[in-house]
Structure 1
Amino acid sequence: MNMLTPILPNDCLYIQLQWEGKQVLLCVSKEGIRRVEEANVEQMITIRGSAKAIMSLLEGSLKLQQQLRLNELSVTASFRHILLLESIFFLAKPYDLVH
């Protein structure tokens, strides 16, 4: 998480993941990532898709923009927040030494 710290917001950025009737709400900030029960709606990003698509995003198998183009995920957020999410997922992906 240390290399992500400079791009993370000081206050919580809420990310709501929704799939197949379930949801998880996360707070992402310089303090870390934690699961929460309530959020500031003005600072919320919602990502919807199948469980498989959400897992592909979290595991780094497919980039957010790829999944958006394939209509596997939908995101409700400002363009700036979408770019921030893309950066977070890209930088958090484990570096693969074997190409």
Structure 2
Amino acid sequence: MHMLAPILPNEPIYIQLQWDSGQVLLCVSKEGIQRVEKGDGERVITIRGSTQAMMSLLQGSLKLQQQLRLNELSVTASFHHILLLESIFFLAKPYDVVH
């Protein structure tokens, strides 16, 4: 989490992930990232896609921009917020260590 702290917003934003069989709402700020039940309507970013596309995003196998170009995901957000999301997902991605 400390690696993400410099890019996280001071004011909370809300990321709503929606897939085939469910959804989750996350609050993202310098305070951290946590699951919540309600968000501020003006600051909600929505990412929609299939279960498989969402898993690819969260596991880091495909970047957000790649999935947007492939029409696997749709995002309702400003360009600035899309770049922020891309950075968060990229920096949070687990890396394979090669020895």
Normalised-by-shorter TM-score class = over 0.9
* Alignment RMSD (CA, Å): 1.0
Structure 1 residue 11: Cα displacement = 2.2
Q: Which runs of 5+ in 1 are unaligned?
A: none
Structure 1 residue 21: Cα displacement = 4.5
Amino acid at match of 1:46: T
**Amino-acid identity (%):** 79
Q: Which position in structure 1 is the counterpart of 2:67? A: 67
Q: Which position in structure 2 is the counterpart of 1:91? A: 91
Q: Which position in structure 1 is the counterpart of 2:51? A: 51
Q: Which position in structure 2 is the counterpart of 1:9? A: 9
Q: Deviations over 1:21-75 (max 9, x none)?
A: 5211010111111111111011110000001111110110100000001100000
Q: 1:82 and 1:57 mapped to 2: Cα distance?
A: 13
SS state at 2:37 partner: coil
Amino acid at match of 1:39: G
4+ runs deviating over 2 angstroms: 95-98
When the two structures are superposed, what TM-score results if normalisation uses the length of structure 1? 0.94
1:34-49 to structure 2, matched below 5 A, reads: 34-49=34-49
8 Å contact kept, 2:25–2:35: yes
When the two structures are superposed, what TM-score results if normalisation uses the length of structure 2? 0.94
Q: Which position in structure 1 is the counterpart of 2:81? A: 81
Q: Which runs of 5+ in 2 are unaligned?
A: none
How many residue pairs match? The answer is: 98
